[in-house]
Each structure stands twice: as C-alpha cells, then as structure tokens.
Structure 1
Amino acid sequence: MDKGRNWAETRGSRRRYLAGVAGLVGSIALAGCSSDDVDPPEQVTEADGTDTAAAETPPTTATERPPDRSTGDAADAALGDVIEGDRLALVAYSVERTATVGEYTEADTGNEFVVVDVAAKNKHDSEYVSFSSFLQLAIKDSESYEYDQSFVLSDDGLDSGELAPGEVTRGIVAFEVPDDAAGLSLHVDLEESLFSYDRAVVDLGTQGSGRTLTQTLAVPVYDTGDTAAYEDTRLTVNSFRTSTGSGYFTPETGNEYVIPDVTVENTGSEELTVSTLLQLSLKDDVGRSYDTSLAGSTVLDREFSQGSPIAPDSRRRGEIAFEAPRGQSPLYLVMDFDYFSEGDRTFFRLR
C-alpha cells in the first residue's frame, strides 16, 4: 500500500474515531430528545421530494430461536433478522473473529475482536433519533461476561449519531474478547433514551432468514445547485465531479474520488467555523458512509479552506474529496449543520 493511501486511511479512520466520540457525547446529551429541539434547515431552493419514498417493508417476526446462552432466555433474533423497537430497527448481518481490525488496531495477547456488520434505521416518518453503538450495543458470552464496543480505526466503521427519518447507518462494530469466549450474543438497547431500556438479543451463532434494511429518506433531499439554510449558515452544492487521482495518490481498486464543489455562506454577525471532517460525509443507499480523503485532496486545485473561520456576511467556496466505490448511485452529500443538535441533518443527492 502506498504512502498516500496510508495517510488517507489514517485521516478517514481519525474522522470515524472523532465522530464516534462526538456521537457518544451527543447521544448522552440528546437522549430522549426529539427533533422539536431545533428548527430544521430551511428550503432556500426547491428540494426534490422523490426520495421521501416508499412504504416500509413489513417487519420480520422472529420465529423460534435458540436460547440466549448468556441468560437462558429466548433470543429475539439471529444473524440477518431485523429487530424493531418503536422508532429504531436493527440487523446484525454477519460476524467475524479476528486479531486485527483495519491496518492499525490489534487485539491484546490472548484476545481477539468480534467484528459485527450492523445496520440501524430510524423508522419514524418525522422525528430524528440519536443512535450510539457505544451506548446501545454490547456483547455477552456464555459465562455472562459483558464486553463493550472498542474504539478501532477502520474505514468500514459504523457511524453513530443523529439519524434522519428513514435514514440507515451501516458498518462494522468491534468488541475485544478473550479468544476462548464462547456462546456470544449481541445485546441491543432499541430505546435511545437513558431513562428506559428496551433490550433485544441477537444470537451470533445462528443464521436467520435475512433481510436488508432499506433507506427511505422522509426529509427533503436537495439537488446540486440547491441551497439549504440552518440558523446563520447557508450551504450550496454547486456541482460535483469524479477523479481517478494521479501519480502516487490514487483510490483503492474499484473506487473513485467524488469531489463536490460547495459554497458556505455566513449570514450571521459572528465568525463561523465549518469542519468538513466532522460535518460532511458521503452516504450510499444502504447506509455506508465515506469520509474525506487526504489523498484525494491532492488532485484539488481549489480545495475548501479551513484555515480560518468564515467572517460575518461572507462566503467561502471550494472542493472536498471523498473516496467511494466507483459509480455508486444513489449517492448523497450529507451535512450536519450542528453536530450536537437534532433536526439539522441535510441531504444533497449527487447522482
């Protein structure tokens, strides 16, 4: 692997680490809150409503499952089965046991990681919810030992935080356990509030019928050229292009650099700071997120500058590079105007 790609992966992993911490803190702060806490972004230009879509797939009802070996109670689901609460649905697609996650994270001697491919969906048609894998997921073994999620550096990591109505987040979560731990089950708190606990159990040793959570965004979806406004911030996605890089700085095989051209305007009376690392990401229709790419930024002649805040009554324009699978469609640029508030997560469809 070349030097440029290593730097890119480090930056992407760092974003997921920081976002994970922020999502954990934000989930604590926002537990039990609803989207009524803040005013949603305004539709400065017309937003395409075609993705506010489709009827929900009927929920899967778990049939007979083996007992949860850590408690003796019946498990609610197996791998591939969807479990549902009032506002959140979740599925664990697969599980792997490995000594390393990504390029940088190794388990301690005598331990290994249990890596679960997970997706969670906000089922509500109008309210935002806060989902934190660090607060809401844990693993138990047959001896009733419980293991919390580990901080790992991986570009495939699950993004925690705010979920818009109909939004899906998908990625891996890792738990470090002794390598002889057996009878593992995933314990899920389907209620995002700290003041109630709606537990469900997924038997990680049993394969279920399988169902994919489908993202059906029930919020305005903007197009390129549109502008969205939130408090004193206006964001316009002017256009986007793709690139295969050059020289040492190229995407992984099968990937491409996706490069939106954006304008951020500060309409307030105080300086505005925007972090493309924490506030902007790409997202596909199955819920996977793609972070900014340091290697991809080397092909930019007009990179979006973050060296200083945006002055009052002024604007800043520039390009931002992400790395994603080639030809992915639909593909969205997602903006969290205020990372620690609900109701402001905004989607621009690039293709």
Structure 2
Amino acid sequence: MDNGGADDGTVAPTPSRRGYLHTLAGLTGAGALAGCSSDDVDPPEQVDDESDEDASPTATDTASGGGTPEQSTGGTAGAALGDVIEGDRLALVAYSAERTTTVGEYSEADDGNEFVVVDMAAKNKADSEYINFSSFLQLTVRDSESYEYDQSFILSDAELDSGELAPGEVTRGIVAFEVPREASGLTLTVDLDDSLFSYDSATVDLDRQGSGRTLTQDLAVPVYDLGDTVAYEDTELTVNSVWTSMGSDYFTPDAGNEFVVIDITVANTGSEELTVSTLLQLSLKSEAGRSYDTSFVGSSVLDREFSQGTPIQPDSKRRGEIAFEAPRGLSPLYLVMDFDYLAEGDRTFFELR
C-alpha cells in the first residue's frame, strides 16, 4: 500500500523491552483515564540556581517547528490513509499500511496469518490538559466480515509509544495486527475519546490513500535547556551535558544511527530512599514524535554510567551517563522525563539540540 506523511527515520528494529513497556503504559494509562487528571499532582517546576546569580537559563515555553496546522477530514467516518481524524482532544492519522509475515527480526505471524503494520501518529490537541493514549485499548482492525483483531505484541524499536501525552505532543510509530491472510476490506477502528466511560468511534480505510497530511508537534508545556534543574516532589533532575558517539571497535550503532549520551544528576530532597529507572522514566523524542529508549549496546561504551543498583539516599545526589541510540543528526531532539510513571501531569522535556 502507498506511504504518506513525513518521516525522520527510525532505529532498525532490534530486540528490546519497548513492547512490554508500552503494554504496561497502555494498561496503567487506562487506570489514569478512570479518574486521574493533571489536577491530582503538582506539576514539575524549575529550580533556580542560587549558587550562581549570573547564570539564569530560561525555559522555552514551546518547542520550535509549528508548521502548517493539521488538516481534518471534516468528520470521523470514511477517512483514508493520510487523513487526519479529530476528537475533542485527540487527533490521529494513519500514514501507511502494509501486510507482511514478519515485523523486525523476532515477530513472525502464525501459519496462514500475516501482520497488518500501520505507521501512524496521535496528538494531544489540548491547550493545557495531559491525556493518555493507549494504542492497545483504543485501536482495533476490522475486516469486511466484521471480525475484529486486537493489536499484537511485537519486538520493535519502531513501535508506537503509548502512554501520557503532554499538550501539543505527538507520538509516532508502527502498530501491528495479526489477521488471516485472506482477510480483506480492512479498516482501522479508533476510539478518539481518552475515557473509559465514553466512546467516539472513527474508522480509517487501510486500502485507500487520502490527503497525506502530517501531524505537527507544538509542545504547549515548558521545554527546559541544558543546565536547568527541574523539581518534582522529592526529585530534582539536572541535564548537565550531551554528546554523541559512534561506539567502539566492537559496540557500534546500526547504520545511519548514533549513540546520544546524556550526563544527568538526580538529587533526592526527601526523607526516604529514591529509586530511579532510566529505562522506564527516560527517553529521547524527535520532532516527528518518534521515541528512542536507552541503549544496552551504547551503555557498554560508557565510562561513568548512571548507577541504578541501589536507591539514592535522602539528601544526596547521583550523577552519571545514559546512552540512547537514534538516527544521526536529529534536531530538535528532546530528553523526556516521567518523574512518576503512574502519575499524570509530570512529563517533562529538555531540548538537547
């Protein structure tokens, strides 16, 4: 099938825990939909550096890259590939769809079946509210005989990142559905209402190409700079520096990619031990909405890796390096921190370049 929409490149699919984490994000996000809102917690806020009055970095209110406003189909029925469909707070577009027996190196369809792989994006349209988008809960594929198919669990770094979306944030990636090889007339069914108590159905014809518009990310939350310190409850995070690496003789990124190394400091300002998971709480994000997790291969070349073996003690701090793998030269590029993976309203962005 035809492709549509702009792209900034993807990391070649490799075995990872992304699929498991995104399933967890979808399920925990469902709990948040039942009653959690950004009013439940105090949002992260920047901490002034009192030790250096001359250094006063300011936070950027919005990210660059506004672009052309996204186009709507004018309704939620009969959309095609490339058409943007919109609910009250969620906009969504399926750029392309293809049928294949394998996704990456480790996901293979059963005999007689194949995967329908959809490259898509979703955007939080709200001006100030955080929402949760779960592809596992809000997307299904339906065939001409009215059979419905749920999203498949796959191992791919190109998979769509489900979970919390900040105002103006876009998430982009692939979702896969396993269907019988003879299934035809496939449509993607979308619930545009991010609530467990209502349903706003829309459909996308996966056999028909539409306008080919692209969702544009325009973050409506503070975007912090290198050197800024952001506090959330008993945690303070400072992004000290960033650089890139092509690895060593034995540990290198995939073709077209690079290791992006972040130096961070985490301070525990509370009275109890603090546990930080860089895999669960930190990711890189591109302007197109693609997410990139920490890289185990990249970590092997670090001299001062951020230690996670023991909790951070009260009134102490820990500094270290974290490696990600992403397409070479992505700009702008953001580091995203979820201070509390189960809370809403704490998703925080640092612009790295």
State TM-score, norm by structure 1. Answer: 0.91
> Which residue identity lines up with residue 202 of structure 1 in the other structure?
V
Could you tell me which residue of structure 2 aligns to residue 189 of structure 1? 191
Question: For 1:35, what is the secondary structure of its paired residue?
Answer: coil
Residue of structure 1 aligned with 2:165, choices 163, 175, 183: 163
1:238 and 2:255 correspond: no
Residues 66 and 217 of structure 2 are in contact (CA less than 8 Å); yes or no, is this contact kept in structure 1? Answer: no
Question: For 2:146, what is the secondary structure of its paired residue?
Answer: coil
Residues 31 and 192 of structure 1 are in contact (CA less than 8 Å); yes or no, is this contact kept in structure 2? Answer: yes
Counterpart CA distance in 1 for 2:320 and 2:349 is 18
Could you tell me which residue of structure 2 aligns to residue 152 of structure 1? 154
CA RMSD of superposed structures (Å): 1.9
Distance change >3 Å, CA 60–CA 249, structure 1 → 2 = same
Could you tell me which residue of structure 2 aligns to residue 347 of structure 1? 349
Residues 70 and 214 of structure 2 are in contact (CA less than 8 Å); yes or no, is this contact kept in structure 1? Answer: no
Aligned ranges 1:46-65 → 2 under 5 Å: 46-52=57-63, 57-62=68-73
Counterpart CA distance in 2 for 1:22 and 1:180 is 32
Question: For 1:29, what is the secondary structure of its paired residue?
Answer: helix
Counterpart CA distance in 2 for 1:215 and 1:121 is 7
Residues 75 and 203 of structure 1 are in contact (CA less than 8 Å); yes or no, is this contact kept in structure 2? Answer: no
Q: Offset at 1:125? A: 1.0
Q: Offset at 1:54? A: 7.4
Distance change >3 Å, CA 240–CA 55, structure 1 → 2 = closer
Could you tell me which residue of structure 1 aligns to residue 44 of structure 2? 41
Residue of structure 2 aligned with 1:221, choices 220, 223, 230: 223
Could you tell me which residue of structure 2 aligns to residue 71 of structure 1? none
> Which residue identity lines up with residue 162 of structure 2 in the other structure?
S
Residues 236 and 262 of structure 1 are in contact (CA less than 8 Å); yes or no, is this contact kept in structure 2? Answer: yes
Aligned ranges 1:262-341 → 2 under 5 Å: 262-341=264-343
Residues 65 and 216 of structure 2 are in contact (CA less than 8 Å); yes or no, is this contact kept in structure 1? Answer: no
| 1:66-88 deviation per Cα after TM superposition (whole angstroms, max 9, x unaligned) | xxxxxxxx943100000000000
Q: Offset at 1:22? A: 1.9
Residues 85 and 92 of structure 2 are in contact (CA less than 8 Å); yes or no, is this contact kept in structure 1? Answer: yes
Could you tell me which residue of structure 2 aligns to residue 248 of structure 1? 250
Residue of structure 2 aligned with 1:175, choices 173, 177, 192: 177
Could you tell me which residue of structure 2 aligns to residue 90 of structure 1? 92
Distance change >3 Å, CA 233–CA 81, structure 1 → 2 = same
Could you tell me which residue of structure 2 aligns to residue 100 of structure 1? 102
Counterpart CA distance in 2 for 1:349 and 1:315 is 23
Counterpart CA distance in 2 for 1:52 and 1:242 is 22
Greater helix proportion:
1
1:28 and 2:30 correspond: yes
> Which residue identity lines up with residue 128 of structure 1 in the other structure?
Y
More displaced stretch, 89-98 vs 27-36: 27-36
Unaligned runs of 5+ in 2: 1-10, 49-56
Unaligned runs of 5+ in 1: 65-73
Counterpart CA distance in 2 for 1:18 and 1:60 is 33
Could you tell me which residue of structure 1 aligns to residue 14 of structure 2? 9
Q: Offset at 1:140? A: 0.1
Question: For 2:62, what is the secondary structure of its paired residue?
Answer: helix
Q: Offset at 1:212? A: 0.6
Residues 82 and 213 of structure 2 are in contact (CA less than 8 Å); yes or no, is this contact kept in structure 1? Answer: yes
Counterpart CA distance in 1 for 2:153 and 2:107 is 9
Distance change >3 Å, CA 63–CA 192, structure 1 → 2 = closer
More displaced stretch, 44-53 vs 219-228: 44-53
Counterpart CA distance in 2 for 1:37 and 1:176 is 38
State TM-score, norm by structure 2. Answer: 0.91
Could you tell me which residue of structure 2 aligns to residue 109 of structure 1? 111
Q: Offset at 1:134? A: 0.3
Residues 142 and 186 of structure 2 are in contact (CA less than 8 Å); yes or no, is this contact kept in structure 1? Answer: yes
Could you tell me which residue of structure 1 aligns to residue 54 of structure 2? none
Counterpart CA distance in 2 for 1:175 and 1:9 is 19
